[in-house]
Structure 1
Amino acid sequence: MFFNFNCSDHGCPKNDLLSGLTVALALVPEAVAFAFVAGVDPLVGLYAAFIVGLITAVIGGRPGMISGATGALAVVMVALVAEHGVQYLFATVVLMGLIQILIGLLRLGKFIRMVPHPVMLGFVNGLAIVIFLAQLQSFQVTDAMGESHWLQGEKLYIMLGLVVLTMAIINFLPKLTKAIPASLAAIITVTLLVIGLNLESRSVGDLASIAGGLPEFSIPSVPFTWETLRIILPYAIILAAIGLIESLLTLSLIDELTETRGRGNKECVAQGAANTVTGFFGGMGGCAMIGQSMININSGGRGRLSGISAALFLLAFILFASSLIEMIPLAALTGVMFMVVIGTFEWSSLHIIKKIPLSDAFVLVLVSAVTVATDLAVAVVVGVIVSALVFAWQHAKHINVKSYEGKLGGKVYELHGPLFFASVNNFQDLFDPKNDPDDVVVEFQHSRVMDHSAIEAIDTLAERYLNAGKRLHLRHLSVECQQLLRKAGNLVEVNVIEDPRYRVASDQLA
C-alpha cells in the first residue's frame, strides 16, 4: 500500500493522521456502548472497531469512510447472544461476512441507486435524531439499584457547560486556524480543563476499562452441524443486509459531501472480508458509521490513511494508553457528537418540505420516524416500498388512448403511456369490443409494455375481441412481447424496421 505524502483532493497525510486520532477518541465510548447493547464484553466491541475499521480503510471502496461496531447491528445481536452465547455471535459474524462478500462479487451493490432521494433525506435526518438521543445517556447516572436518573444540580451544570464549551471550540476554532482538527482540540482542551480544575465529571473510564491485549485468532466454539446453521443463518442474513444498507447509504452521503464517487461493490466485499476476519478474532462485527465518518470528513480526513490511522490509534489505546483515554470526560465526546448531529441533519429539508410533492414529504418523514422507532434497514425498505407504490399509482393514471378511423376503415386505438401491473385495469376500460366495428387496430408505438401483467392484459383484450367476432390487429409490439403473447400472438402485425426492441419483466419463457 503506497500513499502520496503530498496534500491533494484525495487526502493530506497530516490531516488524515490528526483526523484519525480524533475519530479513534470518539470510537472508544461508541464501541463500548454498543458492546453493552449487544450483551458482550467491551473488548469485543473495541476489537470489532479496530479490525473492521482497518480492513475497510485499506481495501474498501470509499476512502475517508469510517467503519466499526454500530448500534444498528448491536440491537439485532442481543437476542442471539442472550439465547445462545457469544460464540454463536462470532460464528454468525463470519457467515455474515461471507454473505456480504458474495453480494459484492455478484455486483448487487448497485441496487443502492434504487433508494429515492426522499428516503436518503429521511435516513440522514432519522440517523441524526438517533445519534442525538443516544447522547442523552451522558446526562443520566445509574444508582446502586441499577436505575437511571437525570443529572441534577451542580453535576448537570458542569456537564452542560463542558458540552457547550466543546461545541463552541469546534464551531469557532476553524475560523482562527485549521492546523489541528477542531474536534481533537476541543477534546484535549476540555480534558485538561477538567483535570486542572479538578471538576467532578464522568469520564470514559466510568463506562468500562478499555485495557487489553492483541486480538487472538480462534475458530468459534460451536458445533459444526445443520442445527447451528439453522440458528445463525437468519441472523447472518439480517445483519449482512443491515450492514450493507447502512454502509452504502453512508458511502452515498460522503460521495455527495466530497463530490467524489465511491465504489459500492468494492465496499461490499471489503465489509464482508472485515466481518469474516472479525468473527475469527473475537469481534462483534460492524459496518460504516455515519457519525464517525462525518467527524473524519469534517476534520479533513479524505484518504485511506485517515481510516487506517484511526484503527491503529484505537489499538494503541487498548494496548498502551488505556489509562489516558479513560480520563477523557464524556462531556467532551458528547459535545463532539452533538456537532455531528448538527452537521448530519439536512436542515434544508425543513425548508423544502412544503415545496416538494406531498408523497415525497410523507416518505421523508416516514423514513425518519421508522429509523428512530426501529432501525435503518427497516426504514429504508419501508421507504423504498412506499416510494415504489406511489410511483406505480401515479403512472398507472398516465395511460390513455386516442381513437380515430383508420385509412382502410375500421377503428384505430393509439395507446399512450406505460402498460404495467398497476395500469392494466385502466387499459381494459379504454376499449369497447361490443360496440366497436369489425376491424380494430391497437397501436403501441407510443406505449411500452413493461411486465408480464401487461402481456396478460393484451392477451385478455384479444380474447374479448375474438369472442365478440371482431378482427383485432396489434401494431408495434417489441419482439419479446410477440414471443410472450399466447392468445394474441397471431394478431400481431410484424414490422421488423419499426417495431421497438426492449425487454419485458416476465416470469414466462419465450
Structure 2
Amino acid sequence: MFELRSNPDASAKADLLSGLTVALALIPEAVAFAFVAGVEPMVGLYAAFIVGIITAIFGGRPGMISGATGAMAVVMVALVAEHGVQYLFAAVVLTGILQISAGLLRLGKFIRLVPHPVMLGFVNGLAIVIFLAQLGQFKVLDASGSMVWMQGEMLYTMLGLIALTMAIIHFLPKLTNAIPSSLAAILVVALLVHGLGLDTPTVIDFVRSMTGDVNSTLEGSLPTFAIPAVPFNFETLWIVLPYSMILASVGLIESLLTLTLVDELTQTRGKGNRECVAQGSANLVSGFFGAMGGCAMIGQSMININSGGRSRLSGASAAMFLLAFILFGATLIEMIPIAALVGVMFMVVLGTFEWSSFRIVNKIPKSDAFVIVLVSAVTVLTDLAIAVLVGVIVSALRFAWEHATHMMAPSHIDQFGRKIYKVQGPLFFASTTSFLELFDANNDPEDVIVDFADSRVADHSALEAIDTLAERYLREGKRLHLRHLSPECRRLLHKAGNLVEVNLMEDPNYKVAVDELAG
C-alpha cells in the first residue's frame, strides 16, 4: 500500500533526479508563499516538507507534488494579521480534520462533476497566475530598501539566463534523457553565473528581499512538535472555523483538479478520496509542527512529470532533498540564480497552458468558450476555488436552461382507447412549465398514461408538477397513470405522501452508478 515504487514503469534514477529538481524549485516558492501569508520563511519551508512527504507516501496520486501554495496563503494572511501565527496553526489543524472527513465521506468523487471547459479555464488561468508570480522576481532592493524593477545590464543578464535555461530544457531531451533537463539547466546556469561572476539575484537575495533582513538564511533545524498556543474554547473555534472551511475547500479543489490533470498526462487514474485523507493528514500534522499547511502544486507537479517522476519515490525524495537542504546544504542552495528557477517555471507555464483552446474556440458552443474565458479570468483575479465554483455554477445553469427547453412528450392512442404520453427529457425545476404545457386534460380520454421511460423525476418541483397534472385530470373525472418510474423516482413519490394522487404501473429496475469509481 505504501510502496514508494508504486509505478512499475517508473525509474528510480528518474524519480530521484526529478525529486532533486522539484526540491530546488520548491524553495523560493515556499519562501514567497510564507511571505504572502505573513509568516517566517521556515514556516513555509516546513510546510513544503511535511505536506510533501505525507501526501507522496499516503496520497492517491503517485507523482503529484504538494506543498505550501499561494491559493491557501492568500486566505491565511488576514488570520495571521489579526490574531497571530498560533491561530494559523490551529486553523491548519482544523483544516486537516475537515479534509480527512471529506475523504472518509467519499466526497472526492464530486470533482468528476467539473465540466471540461471549466478544467480548460482552470489550467489556462493557473498558467497565467504562475507567469504573473514570476514577474516579482524581476524586482530588486534599491539603496532606500524599496523594491524596484530591474534595469540596464542586470535586466538583460536576467533575461539572457532565463532564455538559456528555457533553451536547455527544450533541447536537451532531444540529445539525452540521462538527466532531467530542468535540473541540468539549473546546474549549468548556476555554474555559469558563479564562474563568470555575473551580477544577478540568487535565492538568498530573494529571501532577504522578502524578509527585509540582510542576515536572513535558509539554514534551519528539524520542525518540532508543539500544540498551538491558543485558548481551547468556542471563541477560538468561532475565529478559526471560517478560515479552516475556506482553506479546506481551496486545498481539496486545487488538489483534486491537479490530480485529474496528472491523470490525463500519465494516462493513469488516481484515487480522489484517498488524496483527500492524505491532504488532511498532512495539514493536521503541519499545524502541530509549526508549518502553514498546503495542498497540491500544479507547477511543481508538472516539473516532476516532465522530468520523469512517476512514482511515490519522486515526491518523497523531493521532500527529503528539501529537508536536507534546510539542514545541511543551505549555503549551496542560496547560491542558485533566481533566473534559472524563473526559466523552469516559464517552461511550466508553456506546458500548462492549453494552447489548443485557441484552436477550438470557434468549433465549440459559445457557452463553453465563455466558460473557459470566465474561469481563466476569475482564476487570475481571485483564486482557483472561486473560479472553479463559478464555472461549475454557470455550466450547471446553462445545462438546466438547455434541458428545460427540450422537454417533449409525443402521444398516441393505444388499442384500449388510452392516451399514452411518452415523456422525453428530465423533469426538474427548470422544465416543469414546459412539462405541464404538453398535456391536454380537457380533450384527453378517461385513461391517460404518462410514460417516464425516457425521463426522470428529479426534485420536489417535479413532484409538484406531477401533482398539478394529477389535479387537472381529477377535476375532469379522468384517471392518470405513471409508467416506467425508476426506483429513485418512486422513493420521491413515496416520501411525497399524498402530494401525488396517481396510479403506478410497470416500474422497472434501473441500475445506477456506485461510489467505487472515486477510490
Same fold (TM over 0.5): yes
Which runs of structure 2 are paired with 1:419-458 in the superposition (5 Å)? Answer: 419-458=427-466
- Does structure 2 retain, via aligned residues, the 8 Å contact 1:403–1:412? yes
1:331-352 superposed Cα distances (whole Å, 9 cap, x missing partner): 0100000001011111111111
Deviation of residue 432 (structure 1)? Answer: 2.9
Equivalent in 258, 267, 271 of residue 263 of structure 1: 271
1:43 & 1:500 partners in 2: Cα distance?
Answer: 59
Equivalent in 403, 408, 413 of residue 400 of structure 1: 408
1:233 aligned onto 2:241: yes
Q: Which residue of 1 aligns with 2:154?
A: 155
Of residues 75-84 and 468-477 in structure 1, the stretch that sits farther from structure 2 once superposed is: 468-477
Q: Which residue of 2 aligns with 1:64?
A: 63
1:142 & 1:502 partners in 2: Cα distance?
Answer: 65
Deviation of residue 147 (structure 1)? Answer: 4.3
- Does structure 1 retain, via aligned residues, the 8 Å contact 2:5–2:311? no
2:502 & 2:354 partners in 1: Cα distance?
Answer: 55
**What TM-score comes out, normalization by structure 2 length?**
0.92
1:331-379 superposed Cα distances (whole Å, 9 cap, x missing partner): 0100000001011111111111111111111111111111111001001
1:350 & 1:289 partners in 2: Cα distance?
Answer: 25
Cα distance change of structure 1 residues 266 and 4 upon mapping to structure 2, 3 Å threshold: closer
1:492 aligned onto 2:503: yes
- Does structure 2 retain, via aligned residues, the 8 Å contact 1:462–1:488? no
Deviation of residue 484 (structure 1)? Answer: 4.2
- Does structure 2 retain, via aligned residues, the 8 Å contact 1:31–1:46? yes
2:437 & 2:300 partners in 1: Cα distance?
Answer: 55
Q: Secondary structure at the match of 2:49?
A: helix
Q: Which residue of 2 aligns with 1:94?
A: 93
Deviation of residue 439 (structure 1)? Answer: 4.4
- The size of the alignment, in residue pairs, is 499
Cα distance change of structure 1 residues 451 and 190 upon mapping to structure 2, 3 Å threshold: same
1:482 & 1:39 partners in 2: Cα distance?
Answer: 55
Q: Secondary structure at the match of 1:166?
A: helix
Q: Structure 1: which amino acid aligns with 2:61?
A: R
Q: Secondary structure at the match of 1:213?
A: coil
Q: Which residue of 1 aligns with 2:494?
A: 483
Q: Percent identity, aligned pairs only?
A: 70
Q: Which residue of 1 aligns with 2:46?
A: 47
1:277 aligned onto 2:285: yes
Cα distance change of structure 1 residues 484 and 90 upon mapping to structure 2, 3 Å threshold: closer
Equivalent in 217, 220, 225 of residue 217 of structure 1: 225
Deviation of residue 390 (structure 1)? Answer: 1.1
Cα distance change of structure 1 residues 446 and 308 upon mapping to structure 2, 3 Å threshold: closer
Cα distance change of structure 1 residues 396 and 160 upon mapping to structure 2, 3 Å threshold: same
Q: Which residue of 2 aligns with 1:352?
A: 360
Q: Which residue of 1 aligns with 2:198?
A: 199
2:510 & 2:66 partners in 1: Cα distance?
Answer: 44
**Aligned CA-pair RMSD:** 1.9
- Does structure 2 retain, via aligned residues, the 8 Å contact 1:61–1:262? yes
1:278 & 1:335 partners in 2: Cα distance?
Answer: 30
1:14 aligned onto 2:25: no
Q: Which residue of 1 aligns with 2:517?
A: none
Deviation of residue 62 (structure 1)? Answer: 1.0
Of residues 160-169 and 398-407 in structure 1, the stretch that sits farther from structure 2 once superposed is: 398-407
- Does structure 1 retain, via aligned residues, the 8 Å contact 2:481–2:505? no
2:5 & 2:409 partners in 1: Cα distance?
Answer: 62
- Does structure 2 retain, via aligned residues, the 8 Å contact 1:462–1:487? no
2:107 & 2:313 partners in 1: Cα distance?
Answer: 27
Equivalent in 260, 264, 273 of residue 252 of structure 1: 260
Structure 1 unaligned regions, length at least 5: 504-510
Deviation of residue 453 (structure 1)? Answer: 1.5
1:501 & 1:344 partners in 2: Cα distance?
Answer: 41
Cα distance change of structure 1 residues 448 and 33 upon mapping to structure 2, 3 Å threshold: same
- Does structure 2 retain, via aligned residues, the 8 Å contact 1:463–1:487? no
- Does structure 1 retain, via aligned residues, the 8 Å contact 2:4–2:57? no
Which runs of structure 2 are paired with 1:296-445 in the superposition (5 Å)? Answer: 296-409=304-417, 411-445=419-453
- Does structure 2 retain, via aligned residues, the 8 Å contact 1:246–1:376? yes
Structure 2 unaligned regions, length at least 5: 208-216, 513-519
Q: Secondary structure at the match of 1:207?
A: helix
1:366 & 1:377 partners in 2: Cα distance?
Answer: 13
- Does structure 1 retain, via aligned residues, the 8 Å contact 2:470–2:501? no
- Does structure 2 retain, via aligned residues, the 8 Å contact 1:401–1:415? yes
Q: Which residue of 2 aligns with 1:506?
A: none
1:2 & 1:427 partners in 2: Cα distance?
Answer: 55
Cα distance change of structure 1 residues 148 and 114 upon mapping to structure 2, 3 Å threshold: same
Deviation of residue 323 (structure 1)? Answer: 1.1
2:496 & 2:233 partners in 1: Cα distance?
Answer: 48
Q: Structure 1: which amino acid aligns with 2:398?
A: V
- Does structure 2 retain, via aligned residues, the 8 Å contact 1:218–1:281? yes
Cα distance change of structure 1 residues 174 and 237 upon mapping to structure 2, 3 Å threshold: same
- Does structure 1 retain, via aligned residues, the 8 Å contact 2:466–2:500? no
- Does structure 1 retain, via aligned residues, the 8 Å contact 2:412–2:420? yes
2:185 & 2:63 partners in 1: Cα distance?
Answer: 21
Of residues 73-82 and 455-464 in structure 1, the stretch that sits farther from structure 2 once superposed is: 455-464
